[in-house]
Structure 1
Amino acid sequence: MWASELEEALLRVGHRFGRADPRRRMRAYVHGLLAPVGRKSSWQLAEHAAHGTPHGLQNLLNRARWDAAGVRDDVQAYVTEQLGEDDGVLVIDETGFLKQRETSAGAQRQYSGTVGRAKNCQVAVFAACASSRGRTLVDREVYLPKSWTSDRERCQAAKVPVGRGFATKAELARVLVARARSSPLPFPWVTADALYGQDGHFRRMLEEAELGYVRAVAKSQQVNRTMAACGPRAGQPGRCRADQALTCPTGAAVIRPPPDTANTNAARTVTNNRHMTVRQFTTRKKMLLNSGNSELQLEY
């Protein structure tokens, strides 16, 4: 069944590669990535595909013309059919890819969550779709540091599209969410860590789209005081530190799900659990969960 499903997916995106040669190389490349190959270098992937040299796979990645945006759209449509549910969550996060040299687009010495310290690497922001039926990646954007976007010759050598300027990771996240909203992917909730949680533009974008969200924030970040806040100023308007809003002795805070989920059973279960579960999505961090208009009490 797995093999037949993979073949269906590859056939679905095959027309985005135009000629027969790129299509065959794409299939060999995907099969190699999914195979138990130790290191996913072009040499080892070519060996797995029984190619004499890696030149064909390198040409696919570096020089061949194919519609990457179209492949992404086809993948999102396929994911919607296979995994799409009303309990969908769009997960935003970045990851790093270690590199030996700085010739790959965006590669330089920078922090990589993969190794937990600064290393020479590429960094990309990813969007994944998770539901009760499964999870998978659905989109990506490579992060280009200012040292790259200010050097047009370097960008040209790495085949960075003309006109691509500097964008923060939070700005890239907003691009991913906007594209996902224009796709058929169903996701009433979005989650992200503190890198994106501290970005006010990201939060406002989600609220304007009436999307529920779970976002981590630094403990010192100022947030709106909830009506469930404890202490002498409980119930008073104003702002306080995030850790003060989330660590009351009574263990309560207020959340506001999106209007279309405020009265559902899934939303109500949040008030009855000791962890932050929203539509079967659980986070073990103490996060803020704000959106919409209706208020519910959340216990930890």
Structure 2
Amino acid sequence: MFDLLVLGDANPDVVVGPVNQPLVFGQRERLVPSGSLCLGGSAAIMASGAARLGLKVAFAGRVGDDPAGSFVRSALEERGVDTSALVVDPDLPTPLTTVLTSGPDRAILTASGCLASTSSNDVPRALLRSVRHVHAASFYLMPGLAAGLAELFKEARNAKATTSLDTNDDPADRWERVVLDPVLRVTDYLLPNAAEAHALTGHPVLAEAAGILARRGPLVVVKNGADGALAHDGANLTTAPALAVDPVDTVGAGDSFDAGFVAAVLRRTGRARALAIAAACGSLSTRAAGGTAAQADWDLAVESAG
């Protein structure tokens, strides 16, 4: 029924900025040019991007029984994502995130709500076994889901699906391997950004960090902002440039990249072409505020990739 099942986080984002001066406490108020309320969460943005690229997408995760949860469900459904497996937590609220932008950088504040209560039990096994690809995001934000992810990926692969993981940041800055390494052994594509690749390995050279991660099991596909992207299989390195765009907001660019890469892989474009299409999707998504407003469709992504 579905090409892609996305597992992970979904929440409203309040994106404010650009912030061009230091934040000051003491009840001082500062004005910024813009603010927006939009769909957030790495997994939700990726699912939205994949649906925009023409994939049939289902989402599994958790929201609270509150207006924020209703907003998330409606936003996903409006973008063509099936939310039948989006669980409503009876006790905990929907996560909320505030993103402060400053040029190409941003600071992120998240109230985690029901993120930690999300687990592998929230993923319908019949759905898991029926899709072509399973993608998980925000590994370190969701310890309950992380603990069962290796078994979920193993079951998906036994049903002939491929798998991908975007760990995203670790707020605790520990980057522990004890739970991650078993997941990497059943992950086809690991999709970190450059900072995450460095943190996961402790290696200062990006290409070598990617190679180290690749030798743990997956093809490693690294997002490197304006410098484009690279892929490493443990022996061979492939690169692709970013598009020359004037970014309005980089929130969710990496998640749009993930969507582009998975969509290209499922269309069997080949590694180099998939990397170029993914880089185009990430770049194009920065043309508007929020993570989903400027996501590309398939024809635009292919044309922009050259």
Using the size of structure 1 for normalisation, the TM-score is 0.32
Larger radius of gyration: 1
For CA contacts below 8 A with separation 6 or more, give which structure has more relative contact order: 2
In the superposition, the TM-score normalised over structure 2's length comes to 0.31
